[in-house]
Amino acid sequence: MILTIQNGKPAIVREDGTTVFYSIYTGTRYWGNMYNVLKDYTDQSWTVQECASFSDRKDFSVLGEMVRCFVAECENSRIYAALTEKHCLFRTETRNMGADKEPETVIALGGMYAKRLERAMYNTYTTYNGLKQYDMNDRTHIKRFTENDFCESAVHMPAVDCDGKPMNFGFVSFERYFTGVFACEGGTVEFRHHLDGRKFKEGENLCSDWMMISFYEDMTKELPGYTRFIHDFNYFSDRHTHVPTGFSSWYYYMENINERMVYENLAKIDEIRDRVPLEVFQIDAGWAPGNHNGEPYPELFPKGMKFYADLIREHGMIPGIWLKPFDFCVEDDTVKEHPDWFVKTTEGELALFHNCAMLDVTHPEAKEYVRRLYHKITYDWGYRYLKIDIVSEFMTVGVYHDPEAGALQNVREYFRLVREASHPDTYILGCTCPLFEVAEFVDGMRVAVDIFERWESLMKEFNLIFKRYYMNGNLFISDPDCLMIRKKENEDADCRRYCSRTDDEIRTFLTAIYAAGGGLFLSDKLPLMNEAQIDQYARLFPVDHRVGRPLDLMESYIPGILDLGYQGDVRTVAFINWGERERSFHIELTGAHNATEHWTDEVLGQYDGAYEVTLQPHCSTLVHFERA
């Protein structure tokens, strides 16, 4: 593909002359008088020149061979474009030619896709403290456009045009601003940056992050290439590629924990290790007051947290711990003694949320505080699995010690410091934090809402997990949250979450966890689980690292056909009926296959060309197809 000029504006054109993306522009969107939303597009007279390459700290070789590079310029903007047959990679620079502005949105790149759009998958935003950003709690929807319909998606938007051709519009670097993609049924597409209350000053040159349009033949097969491109383009390091398994205290005990919880569950793990080889023992929330950055409750963990890490290690497991790092109660000594370590309002007061101040790690002394904290936890105490939680809620618009920084730079710097200060063997799990923006610094990431104890929570959870399958193993190792298969008879006075799922729903939970392909953590009180339930756990081991590809991604609100692909001669597919009516499923098979049900070992027979199954509501089956 090439970048050229059509009707006075830049356009992307294929080698055969077919127009792909045209009427390209840059600009800002800002609030005008009487709350009108105004556009500020300076008259632009464009020129285009092909060049050899760009100078940037990115790996352009991941675009492959036959890359053509172009620079388009006008009075106030510049577009850098690296183009191949299937990918259009962009970055823009836009200068504010007028007075200072406070734009709601900067349009890093806008234009017209050559075809009308038929449907899209889009991510909603969470808004905290003036910020629009995308984390595990945000919904991901499938939208079929009506005439002149539109939607906006955080970070990126996979879409299908009226000819059935799939594509993806998305950001591929995340250093400057939080991002979104807007698309209209008629073909208008805008890549947007949110300035989060910061001014666009007179004469300022605003540099965008990198953006990419990719064209696919098969959406579900090729979408993982988007996140793999982000990984490679930005030089992400793969520190931990092993998918972790373990025990977490949260969904049984919640904050009702003490040292007895550690002893009794470790004893049961020793007993079942030959069938259920768990690796991590993670102490979740409740071990310390406040933001869990300090010492434990002495009455609950009287021997100090190093003792319990050593105890866990003596049982052959990796010690894990939960942390909530960004917020400090205004009554906390740290806030009183070091108010300059915290984000301020434009009036110079502490920026508060729920009576909590928010740490500003652009301040040198706050940086050193974070370094000391994580050195203590990972080196001195010995915890090598960190769950860093509740981050998004305490990110904020505000004034930072570094006048050029905003909330994005602050959260990225925090996770960079955690990685720098922690022991090299430490596995870092991000939880309730921006999914794409901190992926560079974590090993794992929670990708969906809390699981809770009802059937409906499974639907919400796996609606997100299966739609985010393409992140797993590319951006990070996905964490689908904990597995609980307990029933009423497995709960005692320690329990703070009373589960109400039926046997069929528990089987579906197991099937969905198997198909998710990410981390596997149990959160039942293990001494109360019977032998049949231990056998259910055991059926998940050894953990299958394959990720279920949702074959009905763009056709179903909750994907129900998860294809894990072949391992040798065996293809594994999960079928899940999330609905309230009987449902039939169908997949194509190439050649004859012998089918076996995973949970029951039932031999289902031989199938050639196709396999069909009908499931009752809330039921599932996990089938292994072996080439005959």
Among 297, 462, 320, 332, residue whose Cα is nearest residue 389: 320
Beta strands in 454-494 (DSSP E): 477-479
DSSP string, 80-95: EEEE-SSEEEEEEEEE
Question: What is the distance in angstroms between the CA of the first residue and the CA of the last residue of the chain?
Answer: 44
- Domains of the chain are 2-233 (2.70.98), 245-324+367-538 (3.20.20.70), 549-627 (2.60.40.1180)
Separation CA 269–CA 526 (nearest Å)? 8
The residue type at 614: T
| Mean pLDDT (whole number) for 461-487 | 97
Q: State residue 472's pLDDT score.
A: 97
Q: Is the sign of the CA dihedral 586, 544, 542, 512 positive or negative?
A: negative
Residue-wise pLDDT for 327-337, tens only, equals: 899 998 899 99
| Mean pLDDT (whole number) for 149-156 | 96
pLDDT higher than 70, residue 626: yes
| Mean pLDDT (whole number) for 464-469 | 98
| Mean pLDDT (whole number) for 611-625 | 98
pLDDT higher than 90, residue 197: no
Separation CA 501–CA 425 (nearest Å)? 37
Res. 40 pLDDT band, cuts 50 70 90? low
Separation CA 111–CA 116 (nearest Å)? 13
DSSP string, 184-251: ETTSEEEEEEE-TT--B-TT-EEEPPPEEEEE-SSHHHHTHHHHHHHHHHTT---S--SPPEEEESHH
DSSP string, 16-69: TS-EEEEEEEEEEEEE-GGG-EEEE------EEEEES----SS-GGGG-SS-EE
Q: State residue 250's pLDDT score.
A: 97
Run of H or E including 70: strand 68-73
Q: State residue 588's pLDDT score.
A: 97
pLDDT higher than 60, residue 159: yes
Q: State residue 198's pLDDT score.
A: 83
Q: Are 391 and 125 in contact (CB under 8 A)?
A: no
Among 89, 79, 97, 213, residue whose Cα is nearest residue 159: 213
pLDDT higher than 90, residue 611: yes
Residue-wise pLDDT for 88-125, tens only, equals: 999 999 988 878 877 778 899 999 999 999 999 999 99
| Mean pLDDT (whole number) for 410-422 | 97
Res. 57 pLDDT band, cuts 50 70 90? confident
Q: State residue 75's pLDDT score.
A: 87
Q: State residue 160's pLDDT score.
A: 97
Q: What tokens does 321 get?
A: 């711990």
Q: Which residue has the higher pLDDT, 544 or 380?
A: 380
Separation CA 357–CA 334 (nearest Å)? 10
Beta strands in 530-602 (DSSP E): 549-550, 561-567, 570-576, 583-597
pLDDT higher than 60, residue 471: yes
Among 489, 488, 506, residue whose Cα is nearest residue 498: 488
Q: What is the overall mean pLDDT for the chain?
A: 94
pLDDT higher than 90, residue 33: no
Q: What tokens does 496 get?
A: 């703070």
Orientation of helix 305-314 relative to helix 259-272, angle to 10°: 10
pLDDT higher than 90, residue 35: no
Q: What tokens does 262 get?
A: 């550690």
Q: Are 29 and 38 in contact (CB under 8 A)?
A: yes
pLDDT higher than 60, residue 388: yes
Report the Cα 251 to chain-centroid distance in Å: 21
The residue type at 283: I
pLDDT higher than 60, residue 313: yes
pLDDT higher than 90, residue 196: no
pLDDT higher than 80, residue 63: yes
| Mean pLDDT (whole number) for 14-19 | 93
**Tally of CA atoms within 13 A in the half-sphere of 171 that contains its CB:** 28
Q: Are 226 and 170 in contact (CB under 8 A)?
A: yes
Query: How are beta strands 356-358 and 327-329 bridged, if at all?
Result: antiparallel
Lowest pLDDT segment from 178-187, 291-300, 492-501, 516-525: 291-300
pTM of the model: 0.95
Residue-wise pLDDT for 556-597, tens only, equals: 999 999 999 999 999 999 999 999 999 999 999 999 999 999
Q: Are 2 and 15 in contact (CB under 8 A)?
A: yes
Residue-wise pLDDT for 341-367, tens only, equals: 999 999 999 999 999 999 999 999 999
pLDDT higher than 90, residue 30: no
Residue-wise pLDDT for 401-410, tens only, equals: 999 999 999 9
Lowest pLDDT segment from 39-43, 310-314, 616-620, 623-627: 39-43
